[in-house]
Chains A and B, each alone.
Chain A
Amino acid sequence: EIVMTQSPGTLSVSPGDRVTLSCWASQSVSGNLAWYQQKPGQAPRLLIYATSTRATGIPARFSGSGSGTEFTLTISSLQSEDFAFYYCQQYDGWPSYTFGQGTKLEI
């Protein structure tokens, strides 16, 4: 099973900040990496797929990069609605896909 590790666990930030979240895979997942956002009491929402492609309706302040085993999600200028949990997921290892443990963005 491919293990996904996210860092940091919690990040204290302010509106307007530029933020970078990291995600590492225990082995190469090529570009098969997605990012999801989850707010308390809500289902997750797809932000980024194929490492760097924004999902429909996702603002341009969200961007993804990386390859192989190292990936990042960048939010260029934090808005109040961006305070949430963020999860990476690899989907290269069929029949076993795995999530990272998540990063919490807090004010």
Chain B
Amino acid sequence: EVQLVESGGGLVQPGRSLRLSCAASGFTFHNFGMHWVRQAPGKGLEWVSAISPDGYGLGYGDSVKGRFTISRDDAKNSLFLQMNRLTDEDTAFYYCGREDEAASGYIDNWGQGTLVTVSS
């Protein structure tokens, strides 16, 4: 069974940094692209970032480009999101998602999310 478990969320002050992690199990992690998607409280889904299976292909949404960095550690079956220069607009649930096996780009499995709150 595919399992994705996010961690690292919490309360952080504006301008500070936070690093999210996603622990993957139940599949061969290094064969799959991975995504981060966020959802502000009461709002819709916003695609944040993605990384290809080999780690070289990186993509970012316009609102996080230059501030967030996605990475992966295949030895630890883990996905990361380094978030810098946080603002209150970054407050959201952050979901980790597994891309489909053919690397088309849709997300076929989701974690339960971790909440990031940016506030002074």
Contacts and interface: CB of A to CB of B under 8 A. Distances in A.
A28 to B, nearest CB: 15
B46 interface: yes
A94 B105 contact: yes
A45 B57 CA distance: 25
B44 A101 contact: yes
A53 to B, nearest CB: 10
B28 interface: no
Interface residues of B, number: 25
Interface in B5-62: 35, 37, 44-47, 50, 57-62
A22 B110 CA distance: 24
Contacts of B47: 89, 96-99
A81 B35 CA distance: 27
A34 B58 CA distance: 21
B95 interface: yes
B120 interface: no
Majority secondary structure, A binding face = loop
Given A44-B110, A95-B60, A32 B105 contact: yes
Contacts of B104: 32, 49-50, 91
A31 B60 CA distance: 22
Contacts of B37: 44, 99
A49 B45 contact: no
Contact of A43 (B44, B46, B95): B95
Interface string A81-107: 000010101011011111111100000
Given A1-B62, A50-B104, A95 B50 contact: yes
A100 B110 contact: no
Given A95-B57, A99-B47, 18 more contacts: A32-B105, A32-B106, A44-B95, A44-B110, A46-B107, A46-B109, A85-B44, A89-B47, A89-B106, A94-B57, A95-B50, A96-B47, A96-B59, A96-B60, A97-B50, A99-B37, A99-B45, A102-B45
